[in-house]
Amino acid sequence: MSTAILYSITGIIIFTVGLRGLVIYTHFLRKVLAINVMGTGIFMFLIALANRNSNGMPDPIPHAMVLTGIVVAVSATAFILALVVRLHAATGHTSFEAIHNDDRGAKL
């Protein structure tokens, strides 16, 4: 098994772990982290792709994609954290379930 394939498969596994976290955890912060783990999996997969040339020269395009992807991921994380902080300040809760179970949430 070549290193590139090993890295690709690891990337896919990391993505799946993140997806599982996004689905099963209820705490907002855990969900945010899970999304970031998913992103990391994809980035790893893309970096492994850069090894596709037979002459040993790395392909720069996947690198460019990962760099852009990181910028998007950072802004996304900042944005969702701001939203979650606002929600916590307004309701005192950190998950959809808790907000809905709250009697204030019942009116929503």
User: In whole angstroms, what is the distance from residue 66 CA to residue 72 CA?
Assistant: 10
Give the tokens for residue 55: 């002459």
Express the helix, strand and coil content of the chain in percent, nearest 5 each.
Answer: 80, 0, 20
Which of positions 9-28 make contact with other proteins (CB under 8 A)?
Answer: 15, 19, 22, 28
CB-CB neighbours of 104 under 10 Å? 12
Residue 46 CA from chain centroid, whole number: 14
What is the nearest approach in angstroms of other proteins to the Cβ of residue 76?
6
Does 104 engage in binding with other proteins (CB under 8 A)?
yes
Site for other proteins contains 98 (CB under 8 A): no
Q: What residues line the site for other proteins (CB under 8 A)? A: 8, 15, 19, 22, 28, 31, 35, 38-39, 42, 45-46, 49, 52, 59, 61-62, 65, 68-69, 72, 75-76, 79-80, 83-84, 86-87, 90-91, 96, 99, 104-105, 108
